[in-house]
Amino acid sequence: MGQIDRALARLRGKLHRGASSDESRWCPLCEQGSAQFLPYGGHKRPDVRCPQCGSAERHRLIWLYLTRYSRSLKHPPRLLHMAPEKCLTLKLQPAAAQYVTLDLYASGVDVQADITKPIPLDDGAFDLILCSHLLEHVDDDAFAMRELVRLTAPDGECLVLTPIDPHLPTAEDLSITDPAERTRLYGQSDHVRLYGLDVIDRLTSAGFDVESFVANEHLEPAEIQRMRLEPLERLLVCRPTR
């Protein structure tokens, strides 16, 4: 983000806050309050996106986990940020000893790679890996998960986030390519599956020990409401078993 963009974002933030003196929302990423968050996503869910930094629930959850509950940022980590989100990059890049971004399509990343093929990075090269809302997009998620295990340092952690329906097993049929049908079945036109809680079994089979970090098990309801977290969203904290 350039200087002008930042100034505009600040101004938008001020205008937004000016609409009301109420600062009932708080973003832990940009550390600013606002009266209300903005709509977000394909369904324009109300009161989700931070007007200052653009964060959504999952970005705030990741940041809260990293700053309050994890040791990963205690010493500047070698960090691999897949499909990097700008609001997190702004905080993570300065906190990292080495900061590497990876994406298949986005320009301006350090490594342009498909995570269902061998990734040109060394074994155990990263103390912290962020893989958020990515696995539901790729056909061979088992291969991608094994790559995540391979790249994570023995005492490192890989944070995985993906949409999960906790009531059903994973739904997938790779022969379905029609965008409308994928949206109907998996929630988005470029999703190839909708995980159930058995995503944890898949990550375990790949070689991770998986712990779930869920907002409502760690934070007070008032704090969840103020930061507009999804109370049951599950951040999967994965550590290699090797």
Residue numbers of the site for Zn ion (CB under 5 A)? 27, 29-30, 50, 52-53, 55
Q: Which residues touch 46 (CB under 8 Å, ≥6 apart)?
A: 39
By beta-carbon proximity to Zn ion, the closer residue of 38 and 176 is 38
Beta strands (DSSP E) in the chain are 25-27, 32-34, 38-40, 45-49, 78-82, 98-103, 111-112, 126-132, 152-161, 171-172, 193-194, 208-214, 234-240
By beta-carbon proximity to Zn ion, the closer residue of 130 and 199 is 130
Helical residues (DSSP H) of 73-231, grouped into ranges: 86-95, 141-151, 179-186, 199-206, 215-218, 221-226
Q: How far is the CB of 40 from Zn ion (least distance, A)?
A: 12
Let me know the angle formed at the C-alpha of 92 by 88 and 94, rounded to the nearest 5 degrees. 135
By beta-carbon proximity to Zn ion, the closer residue of 54 and 240 is 54
Q: How far is the CB of 35 from Zn ion (least distance, A)?
A: 14
Q: How far is the CB of 163 from Zn ion (least distance, A)?
A: 22
By beta-carbon proximity to Zn ion, the closer residue of 30 and 48 is 30
Q: How far is the CB of 236 from Zn ion (least distance, A)?
A: 23
Helix (H, G, I), strand (E, B) or coil at 119: coil
Please report how the helices 57-64 and 86-95 are oriented relative to each other, as an axis angle in degrees rounded to 10.
20
Q: How far is the CB of 239 from Zn ion (least distance, A)?
A: 29
By beta-carbon proximity to Zn ion, the closer residue of 55 and 132 is 55
